[in-house]
């Protein structure tokens, strides 16, 4: 192994209540492509944020050695100066600006107080040639495809004389041809001496390009594999990624024979007008009465989009295909219609689009079903408090009173309020999108127990989760979603973490 360009030693980073990184060590050799893999929440992005100074020196413990020297980055500007560049999944380009303006944004070529635009355009053209992109530098970035925008980001990094390039899931939004082009470019950069750290969920890609692979799991380094020694294989990576026992927090339940089909979707395609591409392609699945159906897949695979598209399509996708509730064709123009048809959707983003944080617990619980509490449009405030108190009791929501504002509750209790709101709607099909994200184990267990209760009473649950053990521990049946398609359907007896990962990453 040549001398390491980067060495991160014993990095520990804590957030309130969570150890995101626990004594992580990570070494990258000069001039290699080093892949960083792990499940969602394993700590990959946090590690890269520590490295690039987004989490400044002092907010973590441990040492960063770069070119053999200890570094104390206080912000992105510091790491930038040292020749580090990080490219995020969400691109940091200004869509309304031209390609050349974007490439030199924040690093303008000056002529005294003025920007030297001629020199800028000339240098930008050179950078574009380096990344193999043939576009007019005066084109606005918003008029380029995502793949080309990605290349602009790399050109921007190259313009700053980057030595270590970090890419966070660069191919997540790219098609196959674009991905292959990008990988070829990275190989070319490596041959010109640029070291590269690549975070990716696509193991096929990792296998194709990596010189070495480091696996993170639960905020810890598990192993570093060397490709030259033949250690890198898909099977080996998956084994290390998921190699944890399923903790016994999933309540046992009696298997009941599945009932009639309550929700069925066929040939379901959704076109996102903002992204300009299909986010769902020819999706087909069904949900039976009294069943928990798991939807596994990686982030960005289209599971939330699927839930939204069924739940009255609030994002305004162009939909094609058929949706049937209890065998009858249904068309929902708004979430309102879906709720009337007996569907409820507990959002993955409680703070973003799940709860109204400025309102209190009782108002959040009642909002989706106020009509039940009202006569002739007038809400019975006392009945509302009573209902809220019932759910406070049955879901064990920890709050001094139902008149407490939701913003003051902990994540787990907020999630319970969100659940209570949708249970009050009394749905037939309950869609849970990441129901346990960011909440502690105790609250998780309570939510699992509640799910078990609900299906016993005849409700059907669609469980969307990025936590594989959760999907496998709770579901009767699992669909694996990848790139907007159903990559496979597995009965729970055949669903192993390895099998699901294989389907999800191909």
Site residues (vs other proteins, CB under 8 A): 311-312, 314, 334-336, 338-340, 345, 347, 352-360, 363, 366-368, 370-371, 374, 377-379, 381-382, 385-386, 401, 403-405, 407, 421
Q: Which is nearer to other proteins, 81 or 371 (CB)?
A: 371
Smallest separation (angstroms) from other proteins to the CB of 141 = 22
| Spatial distance between the Cα atoms of 369 and 491, rounded to a whole number of angstroms | 35
Smallest separation (angstroms) from other proteins to the CB of 462 = 15
The secondary structure element, H or E, covering residue 48 is helix 44-52
3-state secondary structure 239-276: HHHHCCCCCCCCCCCCCCCCCCEEEEEEEEEEEECCCC
Q: How many helices (H) and strands (E) does the chain have?
A: 17, 24
Give 103's Cβ-side CA count (13 Å radius).
Answer: 32
First-last CA distance in the chain: 31
Name the nearest CA neighbour of 360 among 448, 302, 421: 421
> What's the maximum distance between 2 C-alpha atoms anywhere in the chain?
78
Distances (CA, A) of 71 to 214, 269, 345: 22, 49, 46
Other beta carbons within 10 angstroms of residue 374's beta carbon come to: 14
Name the nearest CA neighbour of 89 among 225, 202, 210: 202
Give the contacts of 321 (CB within 8 A, at least 6 positions apart).
265, 266, 267, 268, 269, 282, 283
Q: Which is nearer to other proteins, 257 or 352 (CB)?
A: 352
Q: Which is nearer to other proteins, 75 or 95 (CB)?
A: 95
Distances (CA, A) of 325 to 281, 315, 340, 342, 425: 20, 21, 11, 9, 17
| Spatial distance between the Cα atoms of 255 and 249, rounded to a whole number of angstroms | 18
Instruction: Count the helix, strand and coil residues of the chain and give each as a percent rounded to the nearest 5.
Output: 35, 30, 35
Name the nearest CA neighbour of 168 among 350, 157, 143: 157
Smallest separation (angstroms) from other proteins to the CB of 96 = 17
Q: Taking each helix axis from N to C terminus, what angle separates 411-423 and 381-394, rounded to the nearest 10 degrees?
A: 120
């Amino acid at each position: 192994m040549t001398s390491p360009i980067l060495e991160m030693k014993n990095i520990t980073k804590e957030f309130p209540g969570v150890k995101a990184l626990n004594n992580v060590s990570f070494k990258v050799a000069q001039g290699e492509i080093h892949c960083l893999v792990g499940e969602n929440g394993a700590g990959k992005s946090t590690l890269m944020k520590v490295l690039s100074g987004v989490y400044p020196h002092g907010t973590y413990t441990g040492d960063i050695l770069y070119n053999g020297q200890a570094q104390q980055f206080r912000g992105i500007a510091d790491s930038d100066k040292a020749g580090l560049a990080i490219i995020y999944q969400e691109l940091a380009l200004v869509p309304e600006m031209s390609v050349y303006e974007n490439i030199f944004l924040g690093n303008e070529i000056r002529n005294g107080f003025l920007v030297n635009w001629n020199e800028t355009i000339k240098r930008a053209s050179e950078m574009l040639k380096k990344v193999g992109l043939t576009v007019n530098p005066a084109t606005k970035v918003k008029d380029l495809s995502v793949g080309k925008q990605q290349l602009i980001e790399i050109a921007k990094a190259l313009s700053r004389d980057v030595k270590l390039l970090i890419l966070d899931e660069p191919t997540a939004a790219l098609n196959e041809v674009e991905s292959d082009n990008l990988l070829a470019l990275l190989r070319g950069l490596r041959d010109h001496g640029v070291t590269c750290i690549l975070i990716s969920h696509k193991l096929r890609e990792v296998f194709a390009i990596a010189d070495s692979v480091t696996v993170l799991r639960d905020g810890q380094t598990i192993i570093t594999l060397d490709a030259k020694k033949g250690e890198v294989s898909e099977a080996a990576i998956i084994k290390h990624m998921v190699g944890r026992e399923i903790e016994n927090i999933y309540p046992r339940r009696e298997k009941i024979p599945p009932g009639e089909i309550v929700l069925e979707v066929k040939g379901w395609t959704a076109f996102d007008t903002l992204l300009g591409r299909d986010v769902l392609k020819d999706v087909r699945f069904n949900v039976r009465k009294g069943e928990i159906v798991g939807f596994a897949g990686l982030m960005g695979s289209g599971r939330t989009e699927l839930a939204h598209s069924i739940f009255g399509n609030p994002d305004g996708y162009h939909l094609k295909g058929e949706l049937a509730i209890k065998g009858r064709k249904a068309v929902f123009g708004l979430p309102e219609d879906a709720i009337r048809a007996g569907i409820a959707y507990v959002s993955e983003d409680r703070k973003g689009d799940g709860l109204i944080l400025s309102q209190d617990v009782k108002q959040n619980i009642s909002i989706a079903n106020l009509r039940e509490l009202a006569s002739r449009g007038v809400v019975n405030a006392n009945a509302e408090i009573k209902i809220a108190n019932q759910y406070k009791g049955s879901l064990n929501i920890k709050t001094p009173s139902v008149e407490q504002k939701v913003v003051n509750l902990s994540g787990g209790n907020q999630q319970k309020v969100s659940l209570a709101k949708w249970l009050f709607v009394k749905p037939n099909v309950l869609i849970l999108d990441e129901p346990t994200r960011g909440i502690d184990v105790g609250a998780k267990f309570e939510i699992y127990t509640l799910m078990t209760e609900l299906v016993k009473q005849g409700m059907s649950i669609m469980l969307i989760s990025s936590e594989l053990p959760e999907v496998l521990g709770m579901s009767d049946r699992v669909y694996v979603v990848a790139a907007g398609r159903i990559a496979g359907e597995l009965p729970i007896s055949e669903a192993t973490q390895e099998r699901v990962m294989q389907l999800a990453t191909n």
